[in-house]
Amino acid sequence: MNSILFLVAVYFTFASSLKTGDDHPTLPTMWSAETIEPGAPGNGKGVEAYNFVSKPTYDNPSAIWSNYTDCQRLIYVPNNYDGRRYLLGCDAVDCCYEEQDTNQVEFQIPNVHYSNPNKKVEVSYQRTNITNFGEEIMADEWSWSWTVKDILSQEWKAYTNDCDDCVNGVELLQWTTRAMGSPWFSIQFRNFKGYELNSDEGNQFREMFAIPDICKRNNLLECSDNVKDNYSTNHVIINDKTYEGGRQSECDVARYLRNAGFPSSTIGTMVCISKYESSWNCGATNKNTDGSTDYGLFEINSYYWCSGDPTSKYNECGTSCSSLMDCQKNTNCAYKVYKEQGFNAWYGYQYHKSECDSYPAPVCEEELKSANCGTCGTAYQTCCIGFAVDGYPCDCHLQEGGSGQSGSNCGDCGTGFAACCIGYAADGYPCECDVM
């Protein structure tokens, strides 16, 4: 009997050794498990329920429940702009919220997605011993990494075992990652249970991720710093944004863009991009999974565009990363990014291309004012407002000290202004402004 068991063990060991990185499993996108997570409340022990949606919508949000000894946390992501983290019962607070930018962490092998579908992510495999909930067990180790311009930015290891009774035939035992050579960060899983998509059980499981009624109050408060420090510092907040500066209006952003040199035809699209990158907030920062940081109004990346950050290398904008918290300096750098890479340099544009391509440039009060441009100037401004409402903002502006001229590219409104000025000049009242 012992010899038979020995032969069986040898067989399974041999069978496992035949696996390669190409044989990695696909983890379920819906699961629940007991967890041990360093830094989490309750000595890191809790229970999590996970529902990952790569392109979330309000009808199908991406979400995760984390249940700890004395509080619960719901990360709710209906899209990349409206995501929130709700903390319930933490420090005796019924419910408070924090902003959640972009999607939650993707637990998948691998979780790196290249824009080029033909570019393959290399996954390595080995059989190894791990400690899971205090017990030493054998597991399949799947490892891969993310490299930017030949620099190793982030590494992952996922530990799994085959499971005949599990969804996709696999159970997740441990998830480990590190960025830029930092210490490894590991989460342990026990009693891992996956759920089939579109099954009765799966549909019932998905219903549990609804926002609780207590968190739907109109006067719901943002979580205090104390609550944030105690309950929001673990793995699910990898792509968090902090807001240190005041939010800007659309007109403020448009003014920065014009001052930076952006063509008038790009203003609406860039205002839309800033909306999804930073919520028009000059003090926004975003810590990326590769260890780099995005700064300010247009989320300028530390690795490529500025200096002074631990991850800085190329400093293409010739400025410090801290200076990018200044609205205008950030926009000036964004202009360089735009000239080199176009709108696609920003994920906010890639994910919202249709909206941003048709986003109208804001019609702002300060642009409708001129010192002494008379009846013709007022008529020109009114004409521009009408065209802007239809999505065709004027590319030309009134300038003092002129004689009623209009630039060749100033459209119907400019032509009308020039004609108006000719009429008034014939009556002895020449215009004192130009449209240029």
Nearest to 241, CA basis, from 281, 280, 285, 273:
285
Is 135 labeled as catalytic in the residue annotation?
Answer: no
Task: Say which DSSP state 362 is in.
Answer: P
Maximum distance among all Cα pairs of the chain, rounded to whole angstroms: 116
As given in the structure block, the two tokens for residue 124 are 């390595």
Amino acid letter, residue 404: G
Q: Are 51 and 209 in contact (CB under 8 A)?
A: yes
Residue 267, Cβ density class (10 Å: 0-12 exposed, 13-18 middle, ≥19 buried): buried
From 48, 140, 290, 294, active-site residue: 294
ω into 263 cis (within 30 of 0):
no
d(CA 191, CA 33): 5
| Structure token pair of residue 194 | 């996956």
With beta carbons less than 8 A apart as the criterion, state whether 51 and 64 touch: yes
Query: Is 434 one of the catalytic residues?
Result: no
Four-point Cα dihedral 54, 60, 62, 68, nearest 10: -160
Q: What is the C-alpha radius of gyration for the chain, rounded to an integer number of angstroms?
A: 28
| Catalytic residue (one of 37, 171, 277, 434) | 277
- Dist CA 36 CA 286 (whole Å): 26
Rounded Cα distance, 310 and 292, in Å: 8
Phi, psi of 267 (to 5 degrees): -60, -50
Helices (H) and strands (E) in the chain, counts: 11, 17
DSSP string, 321-372: TGGGGSHHHHHHHHHHHHHHH-GGG-HHHHHTHHHHHTPPPP--GGGG--SS
How many Å apart are CA 279 and CA 258, to the nearest integer?
19
CA distance 308 to 322: 8
H/E stretch holding 394 reads: none
Q: For residue 317, which phi and psi values (nearest 5 degrees)?
A: -90, -5
- Provide the pairing of β-strand 30-36 with 398-400: unpaired
Q: In what order do the strands lie in the sheet with 284-287?
A: 241-243, 284-287, 293-295, 300-301
| Residues with a known catalytic role | 277, 294
